[in-house]
Copies of this chain bind each other. A is one copy, B any other.
Amino acid sequence: MNTTADTPKLRLEPFKVACSSCNLRELCLPVGLNRENLDRLDSLVATRRQVARGDTLFRAGDEFQSLYAVRTGFFKTCVSSEDGRDQVTGFQMAGELLGLDGISTDNHTCDAVALEDSQVCVIPYEQLEGLSREFSELQHQFHKIMSREIVRDHGVMLLLGSMRAEERLAAFLLNLTQRLQARGFSASALILRMTREEIGSYLGLKLETVSRTFSKFQDDGILDVKQRQIRILDQDKLQSLVNGTNC
């Protein structure tokens, strides 16, 4: 969950930074594009946007115009029902796309909130459609990203529908560390960017239950928990909670 977001250097980078030179290009939209096509994508993804911690990138109801690729920082997305209930539907880190929900009705259906000072690449959607008609690699990669989101959501449904609190938290932590590891961070230490309440909302638990479960993992020697700093002491035991291996 550490990103380079908090190094002041980033702020001084030129406003335009090309996909072709982005260190996330192996994780983000450009996967599988050759040099020529990368250059064309660059011309599309021309602008960046800073989003300060706590600010929203977009809200439910906002007109949908662009997708956003997280460049640095960390986001949550949440939907809410008429009666005020709300549900965190995901946490997004560098290289992940935000805004796919907006395509269906031309309006966003969830809020995207920055959990730390963040920077996103703005991808005008109409232009993306246009470009992806021109070269199939981009088209295919974009479809894969949408499909992956669907598969991810099904995984969350499995978690919410059939796992107990400990299993949910274990699965959540393993998922986070896996994604962090893919970005070059440690697999065993992380700093949570979200509150217990946000974790709880994502996992379908109350914040007290999240807190208790962290404490239990600490007691069991699985984790070292210091507020939002987490160290995984026993990866195997965590994994076995998800698998149900030792139940």
Interface residues of A (CB under 8 A from B): 79-83, 85-87, 89, 100-105, 109-110, 129-130, 132-134, 136, 139-140, 143-151, 153-158, 160-163, 201-204, 242-245
A163 cross-chain contacts in B, Cβ below 8 A: 85
A81 cross-chain contacts in B, Cβ below 8 A: 158, 162, 242-243
User: 6 other contacts beyond A87-B158, A89-B158, A161-B202, with CB at 8 A cut-off?
Assistant: A81-B162, A83-B245, A86-B158, A103-B146, A109-B154, A150-B150
Which listed residue (B104, B243, B244) contacts A144, Cβ 8 A? B104
Which listed residue (B89, B148, B157, B162) contacts A104, Cβ 8 A? B148
> Is A150's CB under 8 angstroms from B100's CB?
yes
A101 cross-chain contacts in B, Cβ below 8 A: 147, 150-151, 154
Per DSSP, chain A at the interface is helix
Minimum CB–CB distance for A243 against chain B, Å? 5
Q: In the bound complex, how far is the Cα of B163 from the Cα of A136, in angstroms?
A: 42
Task: Please give me the residue from chain B that is nearest to A85 by CB atom.
Answer: B162
Task: Please give me the residue from chain B that is nearest to A133 by CB atom.
Answer: B133
> Is A161's CB under 8 angstroms from B87's CB?
yes
Copies of this protein, total: 2
> Is A144's CB under 8 angstroms from B87's CB?
no
A150 cross-chain contacts in B, Cβ below 8 A: 100-101, 104, 146, 149-150, 153
> Is A129's CB under 8 angstroms from B133's CB?
no
A110 cross-chain contacts in B, Cβ below 8 A: 154
A143 cross-chain contacts in B, Cβ below 8 A: 103, 129, 146
A-B pairs with lowest CB-CB distance, top 5: A103-B147, A153-B153, A161-B204, A104-B147, A160-B160
Which listed residue (B134, B147, B201, B244) contacts A83, Cβ 8 A? B244
Q: In the bound complex, how far is the Cα of B146 from the Cα of A104, in angstroms?
A: 8
Minimum CB–CB distance for A137 against chain B, Å? 11
